[in-house]
Structure 1
Amino acid sequence: MYAASSREALDGARVELEAALRGVTTDDAVTTGEQLLSVAETVSDNRALRTALADSVTPPDTRAAIAREVLSGKVTEVTLQTVASAAARHWSSDADLADALLELGRESLLQAAKREGRLDTVEEELFRLGRVVKENTELEQALSDRTRSQADRAQLLSGLIDGKVDDVTKRLAVQAVTTSTEAPGDVIDELSGLAAAAGGRKVAYVTSAGELSGAERPSLAGKLSAIFDAPVTLHVEIDPELLGGVVVRVGDERIDGSIAGKLAALRRGMR
């Protein structure tokens, strides 16, 4: 989570980037996203550069000039302007700047997918990929093994999904899994939520004792949309141990309507 000043800085940088992307082609938006992800990795890995770009003691114009000097001739003008503008803003920590550039890169790629009507596909693919990774212990361990190089782990994941998912799905997943310190399945889940947010939706992770019927899915989605005041996409997993009912997670909110949950609450109340 960002502190207030970093959140304000990110929001300002995001507004500028969204305006800039409206003036470029979809391919250029993809290029911008990829370049921002690469810059974010570089900034995150280079402490001296990170400090130079985010040190509040240095005047904002000077920090922006440093960004331009480092990146000039290496990235597009939109990417250059985005990084320079971000560097000129006030960040609570230099790590927040690196994280913000990562977010902006991901959002650029998702906006490109949205333009071509592929955002729902990307969201669903990321969700399914997250499930595959979480359910395959050996795969998740291999992807999170820091004794293996980033290139090796990237090749492993790319080999599994290449040609089977949208290019944006692949780019986001490979970059996130190979650079994040989070569990691979969890970071892919976060990307799925980010894709939903890009489409103005929230993701409800539903664990059900059995398959939801064709009538139950829209009914549950409608109730959750009313509760959270936003369109909701359901991602459903089956867990017979719930005995009946469902458990729903939307962001930090958790709603336990399962029989197992009610029995557990009853047992706690009888102690």
Structure 2
Amino acid sequence: MGSATREALANAVSALAELGAKADLATAEDLFAAGRVVADSAQLRAVVSDPSADPQGKAELVKRVFAQLSPGAVSLLSTIAAQRWSRQRDVLAAIEELGIRSIAMSAPAGTDIEGELFTFGGAVISSADLELALRSKLADPTEKAALVDRLLAGKASPQTSAIIRQIVLQSRGRSIREALREAARIVADQSGHSIATVTSAHALPAAQLEQLRAALSAKYGVRLKINEIVDAAVIGGVRVQVGDDVIDGSIARRISDLRLQLVG
């Protein structure tokens, strides 16, 4: 992420914080829809991301184009347009991120968006047919969104469904797994914590998971939530991922390292 984009995104997130309770699921849906319009219009995308264009002029243009959307969404879109971005695609990522953060901010207490995203990701991983259906470039995005709605009906919150529907409607070149991980990271960050993914051959006892969570929280200096994956392929031990950091203490990794040493 370029320095211009980092500053621009920080300003956009601050604008979202100022909206407070005015930012809700409807705001997010409007942002997602606007992002798809910007993505489909090379001219609009070029103007909004042009660092040499007048910031106020870009903001006013966005207000006119998206005047039919909710005031909160229009305000956030105009803030995004007024910033300087490193790349055009950063604008699309920012619009989506503000939508996801709006959802995380306004979700009813007890709504486990991260957990539901993680569960859906597990379903995708375990079904090659489902993953193919959702990632296919030949399939109509609206048909993929309809598939998501059928799969999640009665099983996930409206908040989670909206995020996953956005991901399949606007992949931006990402795999479904990558997009789900990024969405979960944004939700966690908005909620004030991070995610640690723990992979083991067998489900770990709750007490052991809590000890691991506490140790990792102390190591990284942040509140962590544990997502657990059971994968017999690791054989034994655990593999832990926090952001880009991977701590691989699995037996499978040790065997792989030993093989490399023997070959060498």
TM tier relative to shorter chain: over 0.9
User: Which of 73, 78, 82 is 1:79 aligned to?
Assistant: 73
Q: Deviations over 1:85-109 (max 9, x none)?
A: 2111111122211221111111111
The reply on whether 1:92 has 2:86 as its aligned counterpart is yes
Larger deviation, residues 208-217 vs 3-12: 208-217
- Contact 1:34–1:109 (Cα < 8 Å) also in 2: no
Instruction: Look up the SS of the partner of 2:206 in the other structure.
Output: coil
Aligned to 1:188: 180
Instruction: Look up the SS of the partner of 2:51 in the other structure.
Output: coil
Structure 1 residue identity aligned to 2:105: Q
Aligned to 2:100: 106
Q: RMSD between aligned alpha carbons?
A: 1.5
Paired with 1:152 and 1:214, the residues of 2 have a C-alpha distance of 40
User: Which of 28, 31, 43 is 2:26 aligned to?
Assistant: 31
Instruction: Look up the SS of the partner of 1:215 in the other structure.
Output: helix
Aligned to 2:214: 222
**Alpha-carbon distance, 1:225 to partner:** 0.8
User: Which of 186, 198, 201 is 1:206 aligned to?
Assistant: 198
Q: Deviations over 1:80-130 (max 9, x none)?
A: 1111121111111222112211111111111111xx2134x1111110010
Alignment of structure 1 residues 169-188 onto 2, 5 Å: 169-180=160-171, 181-188=173-180
**Alpha-carbon distance, 1:253 to partner:** 0.5
**Alpha-carbon distance, 1:224 to partner:** 0.9
Structure 2 residue identity aligned to 1:18: A
Paired with 2:104 and 2:85, the residues of 1 have a C-alpha distance of 24
Instruction: Look up the SS of the partner of 1:98 in the other structure.
Output: helix
Aligned to 1:123: 114
- Contact 1:30–1:112 (Cα < 8 Å) also in 2: yes
Aligned to 1:46: 41
Q: Deviations over 1:181-216 (max 9, x none)?
A: 322233223222222222212111111022201221
Aligned to 2:145: 154
Structure 1 residue identity aligned to 2:64: E
Paired with 2:164 and 2:114, the residues of 1 have a C-alpha distance of 11
Paired with 2:134 and 2:259, the residues of 1 have a C-alpha distance of 40
TM-score with structure 1 setting the length: 0.91
Aligned to 1:233: 225
- Which 5+ residue runs of structure 2 have no aligned equivalent? none
- Which 5+ residue runs of structure 1 have no aligned equivalent? none
Paired with 1:84 and 1:75, the residues of 2 have a C-alpha distance of 12
Paired with 1:152 and 1:228, the residues of 2 have a C-alpha distance of 41
- Contact 1:154–1:174 (Cα < 8 Å) also in 2: yes
User: Which of 69, 77, 91 is 2:64 aligned to?
Assistant: 69
- Contact 1:130–1:186 (Cα < 8 Å) also in 2: no
> Structure 1 runs of 4+ off > 4 angstroms?
none
Paired with 2:119 and 2:143, the residues of 1 have a C-alpha distance of 22
Paired with 1:44 and 1:251, the residues of 2 have a C-alpha distance of 28
**Alpha-carbon distance, 1:269 to partner:** 4.1
The count of residues paired between Structure 1 and Structure 2 equals: 262
Aligned to 1:134: 125
Aligned to 2:54: 59
TM-score with structure 2 setting the length: 0.94
Paired with 1:214 and 1:59, the residues of 2 have a C-alpha distance of 55
